Chains A and B, each alone.
Chain A
């Protein structure tokens, strides 16, 4: 396949700059018919930017793009789709209140036909579904579909538009293991018919599984290109990070102490007033990391919000060091010395429009070191912030820099610095490394292990199984708001955890 002389796509010397950041620097990229090509790289390596250029979402500052041999200039995704390029982003572009069929035909009506030819559209859709094994009832409303099914709708949407170059941006991030298998099967069928797929990911084992060829990006440049059968996950990891990775985390043996966090018969409703967490019981002890695995949307968000004091449970209680947490009051969690790392750090955790310093003192600005009678002691605050910036090695222009100017990894470091400052008894870390690059991820992991050794009890809520396995002393799996199973990481298989995650008990 790779020997094919005529590439479907050729991008040559593509450069794209955002202000000071060069997201893509002289990138050359080819895509051949009938292949799955993975774009591998850490967050911020420029994978998505490069594909957004091919999709007409951005225009490149330099370089040329050829699609099927023809040099073109794309100025919108519409142009790209017209040339057979489709892209499925991490966040789907579907209208939840409309049906599958309606979502698929949106924007396909030509100007000549005022009336929708639904009958013909339905026939075409059913035909596509059968051909690619993507069976979904065209008349179901999208909001009732699972994330995996919504992704199928997105793929069908692209196929309906006769796309033969399909770009998928981190498609497995939201999928259960079984759904991932389904997706991979579909992608194989697609390429067997001569279409091409670009698979953007930073998950090595998936990339090894699915692709024919792998292009590794780092810091906006292509650093390597490999045929999958001629490389190893280990080589790719080193290429991606640019240095040898530590084999595994240095996890010291510590015996867990007494329980510091107790959750009893907790029932929490979601925004639709339906139970998201049902009669949940958990205990986290000192010097222990309890990892909670699960596919997103199984109550993790509501559970963490109840723990943070953002959501009032309808039943049950939460105790920190035997003191009950006042429901629905974040300041109670702060007073009881709980560190809280929310999953949406940019929306809930941090004040993105304020300075780094103003974020550091959010929870403690009322304490005597930082104010007297309501007057701010700015000198103390400066010292405090500078010390934290140094201790956590936060890359920022200074304490006065606006927080949104920081990179994802550094944002999370600000979050950690603030939350871990008071030597917390309990740490709730919800998806603490989601969206972070490998380096930042390693840092966060090391910090959490340090806190564990210091004596904190840590509840780690994560969708990343690697993370759960490597950090936890115990693993629980949450499914539809209840605990499906509990095990120690060394005597349970990934398959078993995967089964629990998809609701299969034994």
Chain B
């Protein structure tokens, strides 16, 4: 009989740490070949169009960034929270909170000087998402309410609040659909490159990657939040105010998701609709895990996901493989990455009897 056992391995060399995500992507693509073949697609053609569709033309490349922007922000949101072991599953609701706030202000800020409109909306959108996340943060620290459950359930609460408002005070006058009026021009994110949708929000999301990296590595807050995540008891023993750390972490995390909502509203939709987000908040969880909770890892995995999402459109058009394959590839990528991460710390030992 042969038994397998997991044993600890020596810490990996730095080059191996870089190689692992690359290897994970390769294995993901190999595994994804199976469903593509099952769907009747020609393999090489499918993969060609998958990448061509995302990167092959100027417009497609810029679209990949457009799609990537909310994913970067929700991924960062989740990663920042998870690092402190605040299990924020609620980026979706926080995104909606940000989008709602942006809608409300974007419709009503007509009287405010033009240069002030966007800063106000961005700040308020950040705070809206942040407060929505801080609520479960406070519940967790003060009343020991499980954060997984509360953040998750608040997603539905926010979705229904949005529905109530879109059928009520926020509904576009004269419309029978659940949609708001369009926001004013001054509330729109500027388009930065002509003949594309490459907007200011993309710059904001890249800036956010840097800011979060900076907070994590260069500030005392980042240090405290890491300490709380690693061992809350020892952090408390060491004099860290863990309640404050968790609530502030929640606030920043929710704020990042809120910014994703602001971006979708002010740069893509220009009005609030019920399906403003195709689940960016949930995808953010996968992206955060895939990026190993590191801001740069999040950036890369968000871009990888948007390549798959954008490219799958072209692939589907050219080969008839359904676009659902994008989600299969995303799921596979997460599984493969988690297994690969396991093997950065462990190896398999074969025991023969």
A interface vs B, CB < 8 Å? 18-20, 59, 73, 75, 308, 310, 330-331, 333-334, 340, 342, 347-354, 358, 361-363, 365-366, 370-371, 374-376, 378
Contact = CB atoms under 8 A, between A and B. Distances in A.
Interface string B234-257: 111111110000000000000000
A331 B236 CA distance: 8
A361 B223 CA distance: 10
Most buried by A among B224, B237, B240: B237
Given A19-B8, A353-B230, A330 B237 contact: yes
B238 A330 contact: yes
B271 interface: no
Nearest to B223: A365
B234 A350 contact: yes
Contacts of B221: 374
Given A351-B234, A354-B226, A73 B353 contact: yes
B10 A20 contact: yes
Interface in B1-33: 3, 8-10
The 5 lowest CB-CB distance pairs between A and B, nearest first, are: A331-B239, A362-B238, A334-B239, A353-B230, A371-B220
B218 interface: yes
Contact of B233 (A18, A73, A348, A376): A348
A342 B9 CA distance: 30
A364 to B, nearest CB: 9
B71 interface: no
Contact of A376 (B8, B220, B235, B240): B220
Given A19-B8, A376-B218, 8 more contacts: A310-B236, A330-B236, A330-B238, A354-B230, A362-B239, A363-B239, A366-B220, A370-B220
B196 to A, nearest CB: 37
B143 interface: no
Interface string B205-227: 00000000000001111011011
B351 interface: yes
Most buried by A among B238, B241, B351: B238
Contacts of A20: 10
Contact of A308 (B10, B218, B220, B237): B237
Contact of A358 (B3, B10, B223, B233): B223
Interface residues of B, number: 25
A56 to B, nearest CB: 12
A374 B351 contact: no
B239 A330 contact: yes
Given A351-B235, A366-B220, A331 B241 contact: yes
B231 interface: yes
Contacts of A310: 236-237
Most buried by A among B223, B236, B241: B223
A428 to B, nearest CB: 12
A351 B351 CA distance: 34
A473 B273 CA distance: 76
A374 B219 contact: yes
Nearest to B214: A375
A378 B214 CA distance: 13
Contacts of B10: 19-20
A370 B240 CA distance: 15
A351 B231 contact: yes
A354 B223 CA distance: 10
A340 B237 CA distance: 9
Is chain A's interface secondary structure helix, strand, loop, or mixed overall? loop
B234 A349 contact: yes
Contacts of B3: 75
Contacts of B237: 308, 310, 330, 340, 342, 348-349
Contacts of B239: 330-331, 333-334, 362-363
A347 B233 contact: yes
24 contacts: A20-B10, A59-B351, A310-B236, A310-B237, A330-B237, A331-B239, A331-B241, A333-B239, A340-B237, A348-B234, A348-B237, A350-B234, A351-B235, A354-B226, A354-B230, A361-B223, A362-B227, A363-B239, A365-B223, A371-B220, A375-B218, A375-B219, A376-B223, A378-B218
Contacts of B223: 358, 361, 365, 376
A376 B234 CA distance: 20
Most buried by A among B220, B234, B236: B234
Nearest to B221: A374
A409 B230 CA distance: 22
B31 to A, nearest CB: 31
Nearest to A308: B237
A19 B7 CA distance: 10
A353 B85 CA distance: 14
A462 B224 CA distance: 32
A309 B226 CA distance: 22
Nearest to A18: B8
Nearest to B219: A374
Given A19-B8, A20-B10, A75-B3, A374 B234 contact: no
A59 B3 CA distance: 12
A217 B227 CA distance: 38
A354 B225 CA distance: 12
B219 A376 contact: yes
B347 to A, nearest CB: 11
B212 to A, nearest CB: 15
A350 B240 CA distance: 13
A440 to B, nearest CB: 21
A342 B353 CA distance: 44
A365 B8 contact: no
Interface string B297-308: 000000000000
A18 B349 CA distance: 12
Contacts of B9: 19
A352 B235 CA distance: 11
Contacts of B231: 347, 351-353
Contacts of A73: 353
Nearest to A378: B218
A20 B9 CA distance: 10
Contacts of A351: 227, 230-231, 234-235, 238
B248 to A, nearest CB: 11
B116 to A, nearest CB: 27
B351 A75 contact: yes
A55 to B, nearest CB: 16
B220 to A, nearest CB: 5
Most buried by B among A310, A349, A351, A366: A351
